[in-house]
C-alpha cells in the first residue's frame, strides 16, 4: 500500500477547541497538497474554508464530542453545516440512550440526521471505548439499518480510540454496504495500513500527513 493510497483514505483532522484560523488554513493546504479524502474541522470554520477552498471536501462534526444534545439541536447543526458548505457529517450518538437500551431512539435520531444531511455522506460515531461488546454489536446493527454511509469508532476525545479488535468486530457485524471509519489511536503509518487491511475505509487522524512528510524526508 502506497503513501498515496493511505492518504486518500484519511480525513485530515483538526478538532482542538483552541484551533485558530492559521492552523485550520494550514490543515487545508496540507489536504490539498497530499490529496486526503477530506478535512475534518469544527463547524464554525466550515463556511470560511468553503470560501477559501471551494474544491476541498469538507467534513464537520455534529453533537461533538459527547452526543447528548437533543435531536432537534443536532438536526439544526446538520442543516446549518450543509448550508455553510459541508460535504460530510460525522455525528455522535446519544450514549445514554444506548446504556438505557433505547435503541429505537438512537435509530430515529440517525434517520433524522440522514434526512437533514440532504444526501451528503453521514458517518455515525459510536464511541466504542465506552461500549460493551454487546452494545457495539447492537450499534453495528442499528447503524446498518439507518441509511448512514459510515460507522465510526471514536471521537478521539474520550478514553480510547480505534483498535484492531473493534475494526474486526464492526466488519463482522455491519452490513456489507456500511463503511467503517477508524479514528483515534492511529500513531504510525503501520497503524493506518493495518486498520485499512482489517476493513476500515476511512481514517480519522491528525498525524498521517506529518508521518508521510517524515517518511519521505520532506
Active site residues per annotation: 90, 152, 181
Q: Which residue's entry shows cell 455515525?
A: 124
Burial of 170 (0-12, 13-18, 19+ CB in 10 A): buried
**Ordered DSSP codes for 163-213:** -HHHHHHHHHHS-TT-EEEEES---SHHHHHHHHHHT-SEEEESSHHHHHH
Count Cα atoms within 13 angstroms, Cβ side, for 161.
Answer: 16
The 3-state DSSP class for residue 92 equals strand
Q: Which three cell numbers stand for residue 58?
A: 469538507
| 44 contact partners, CB below 8 Å, separation of at least 6 | none
Amino acid at each position: 500500500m502506497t503513501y498515496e493510497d493511505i492518504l486518500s483514505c484519511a480525513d485530515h483532522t483538526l478538532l482542538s477547541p483552541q484551533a485558530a484560523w492559521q492552523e485550520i488554513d494550514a490543515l487545508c493546504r496540507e489536504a490539498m497538497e497530499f490529496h486526503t479524502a477530506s478535512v475534518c474541522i469544527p463547524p464554525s470554520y466550515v463556511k470560511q474554508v468553503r470560501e477559501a477552498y471551494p474544491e476541498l471536501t469538507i467534513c464537520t462534526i455534529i453533537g461533538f464530542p459527547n452526543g447528548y444534545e437533543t435531536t432537534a439541536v443536532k438536526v439544526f447543526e446538520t442543516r446549518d453545516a450543509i448550508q455553510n458548505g459541508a460535504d460530510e457529517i460525522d455525528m455522535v450518538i446519544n450514549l445514554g440512550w444506548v446504556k438505557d437500551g433505547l435503541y429505537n431512539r438512537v435509530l430515529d435520531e440517525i434517520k433524522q440526521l440522514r434526512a437533514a444531511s440532504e444526501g451528503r455522506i453521514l458517518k455515525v460515531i459510536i464511541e466504542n471505548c465506552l461500549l460493551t461488546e454487546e452494545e457495539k454489536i447492537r450499534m453495528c446493527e442499528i447503524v446498518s439499518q439507518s441509511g448512514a454511509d459510515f460507522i465510526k469508532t471514536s471521537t478521539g476525545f474520550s478514553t480510547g480510540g480505534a483498535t484492531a479488535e473493534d475494526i474486526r468486530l464492526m466488519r463482522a457485524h455491519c452490513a456489507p454496504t456500511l463503511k467503517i471509519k477508524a479514528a483515534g489511536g492511529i500513531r504510525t503509518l503501520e497503524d493506518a495500513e493495518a486498520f485499512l487491511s482489517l476493513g476500515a475505509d476511512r481514517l480519522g487522524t491528525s498525524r498521517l500527513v506529518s508521518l508521510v512528510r517524515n517518511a519521505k524526508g520532506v
